Amino acid sequence: MSHFHPWVMWFFAVLFFSYQFIMRVFLGLCGTEIMHKFQIDATDFGLLASMYYYGYAGMQIPIAVLLDRFGPRMVISLCCLVCSGSIFLFYWTDNWTLALLARFLIGAGSAAGFLGTSKIVTLWFPFHHYSRMIGLSFSIGLLGAIYGGMPVGHLITLYGWENVLLIIGVAGLVLTGLLILTIKPYKMSFLHEPPIFLKDFKSLLTMPSLLLLALANFLMVGSLEGFADVWGVPYLMTVYAFIKEDAAFITSSIFTGMLFGGPILAYFAEKFKKSYQITALCGLLMAGIFALMLLSKGSLSHTSLAILMFIVGVLCCYQVLVFSIGTSLVSANLRNITVAFLNCINMLGGSFFHTTIGYLMDFFWLGQILEGQRVYEAHAFGYALWIIPLTAFIGGAMVWLLRPVGKGSKRKQKVAEASQLVRQKSMKINAEFEAIENDPER
């Protein structure tokens, strides 16, 4: 294999990672049209949006196991095919249940975007390049969310959302073929890390500090997965009377900020050794910015909103620090499953926020109907979106309370790590004894 081929494999894998971001934010660009097609209200639309996150979160750990077992070529290609096929199903169906299923399958297939890219980096790139390659992968992947905003919104205005959706589906089929052609078959000898076993997952559930960290992360994702992904565009079009392209540009500024947020927050966390405090500060600042936007009630300018959302995007990269904190709480052999677990809970946050915001939109709806369809006023948006700053504040406060405090904190952390290591070794010894007892040849 030439030195250039790993870059080709990585490029098409990260292209799929970018592609899944386009599918993720697409629903927010045509919410009114979709609600009209299926004759649904905001609660049902929130359920539809949340199905992506149920599929994505539910497949995080299974995809990680499948990548270890079958390799990235088969898994990434199949997931890309599932995504594009589900797009065609969503395009053609008028059945509400099939639409929910299609959205769920799009999310399930998208789970291989980042995990598959990470696996290719692990298998075919030097280990000391891992952090650099993952950072570059995130940057290119986020371009999908950025260009999936204003440019795709403009295409929807010109050609209609269903035609644009059909083009995206065809692009997915083409990408599937390219993935099959370029990614090399899997060889176990290339494995640089221990495989993931589902039994390792059980040990994570015995760690209160990790579970509380996951819950705090869950509460803080509203800015990204609740606002930027779906509800930001309709909110800005209703409250600020922006056209779709301008509203999409403002929400995509969050993803633009994320291009810079990861390195910035990682630098400060490393420099000051304050990962917990910086993560907590991110949650509190996001809560403050969203409270300011909601209290302004449409008085902020387009430029001011774009700047504020860019800052929110930088703060959204607290998730990088959450992964770092989480992996520091476990032994080395549990780090991969820990990242998959934290990302799973993180994506479940998207389901929570979409479902809750949709319900609150209907709760505060004033009763206006146009052409048989509910019309949601600025009043409904203003109240429903308060769930984002409130939960961000709670999540930030939780992380602050979880921080190590006092001179004995390092000692306690070392004791906890040693205890965790002892538990893991005990589990391995027990598993070996069980294998010996169950093997008649022994």
| Cα(396)–Cα(276) distance, integer angstroms | 9
Asked whether residue 280 falls in the same domain as residue 144, the answer is no
Q: Is residue 428 part of a domain?
A: no
Q: Is residue 109 part of a domain?
A: yes
Which of the two residues, 421 and 35, has the higher pLDDT score? 35
Q: What is the sign, positive or negative, of the torsion defined by CA atoms of 26, 29, 30, 31? A: positive
Q: Is residue 387 part of a domain?
A: yes
What's the CATH code of the domain at 297? 1.20.1250.20
Give the pLDDT band (50/70/90) at residue 197: low
Range in 6-20, 155-169, 414-428 the model is least confident about: 414-428
Asked whether residue 166 falls in the same domain as residue 248, the answer is no
Cβ partners under 8 Å of residue 413, min gap 6: 404
The amino acid that residue 137 corresponds to is S
Domain stop point among 173, 196, 219: 196
Q: Find which of 128-137, 212-221, 404-413 is predicted with most confidence, using mean pLDDT.
A: 212-221
Q: Is residue 409 part of a domain?
A: no
Instruction: Please compute the mean of the pLDDT values over residues 394-420 and round it to a whole number.
Output: 69
Q: Residue 435 above 60 pLDDT?
A: no
Asked whether residue 103 falls in the same domain as residue 117, the answer is yes
Give the pLDDT band (50/70/90) at residue 192: very low
Q: Which domain holds residue 312?
A: 198-403
Asked whether residue 187 falls in the same domain as residue 315, the answer is no
Q: Residue 408 above 80 pLDDT?
A: no
Domain stop point among 138, 161, 196: 196
Q: Is residue 438 part of a domain?
A: no
pLDDT value at residue 189: 43
Q: Is residue 142 part of a domain?
A: yes
Percent of the chain with pLDDT over 90: 44
Give the pLDDT band (50/70/90) at residue 276: very high
Is residue 54 exposed (0-12), middle (13-18) or buried (19+ Cβ within 10 Å)? buried
Asked whether residue 186 falls in the same domain as residue 202, the answer is no
Asked whether residue 154 falls in the same domain as residue 270, the answer is no
pLDDT value at residue 198: 58
Q: Is residue 317 part of a domain?
A: yes
pLDDT value at residue 190: 45
Q: Tell me the CA distances in angstroms from 380 to 61, 157, 203, 310, one per residue in order.
A: 37, 25, 43, 25
Domain stop point among 130, 162, 196: 196
Cβ partners under 8 Å of residue 12, min gap 6: 175, 178, 179, 182, 183
Asked whether residue 303 falls in the same domain as residue 325, the answer is yes
pLDDT value at residue 80: 96
Q: Do 309 and 257 contact (CB within 8 A), yes or no? A: yes
pLDDT value at residue 328: 83
Q: Residue 195 above 60 pLDDT?
A: no
Asked whether residue 306 falls in the same domain as residue 257, the answer is yes
Asked whether residue 38 falls in the same domain as residue 128, the answer is yes
The amino acid that residue 203 corresponds to is S
Give the pLDDT band (50/70/90) at residue 311: very high
Give the pLDDT band (50/70/90) at residue 187: low
Report pLDDT digits (tens) over 336-364.
Answer: 678 778 888 888 898 899 999 999 999 99
Asked whether residue 192 falls in the same domain as residue 278, the answer is no
| Cα(65)–Cα(272) distance, integer angstroms | 36
Alpha carbon distance, N-terminus to C-terminus of the chain: 41
Asked whether residue 249 falls in the same domain as residue 355, the answer is yes
How many folded domains does the chain comprise?
A: 2
Q: Is residue 416 part of a domain?
A: no
Report pLDDT digits (tens) over 97-111.
Answer: 999 999 999 999 999
Asked whether residue 68 falls in the same domain as residue 111, the answer is yes
Instruction: Please compute the mean of the pLDDT values over residues 193-211 and round it to a whole number.
Output: 73
Give the pLDDT band (50/70/90) at residue 75: very high
Q: Residue 20 above 80 pLDDT?
A: yes
Which of the two residues, 411 and 341, has the higher pLDDT score? 341
Q: Find which of 133-147, 329-343, 382-396 is predicted with most confidence, using mean pLDDT.
A: 382-396
Q: Residue 293 above 60 pLDDT?
A: yes
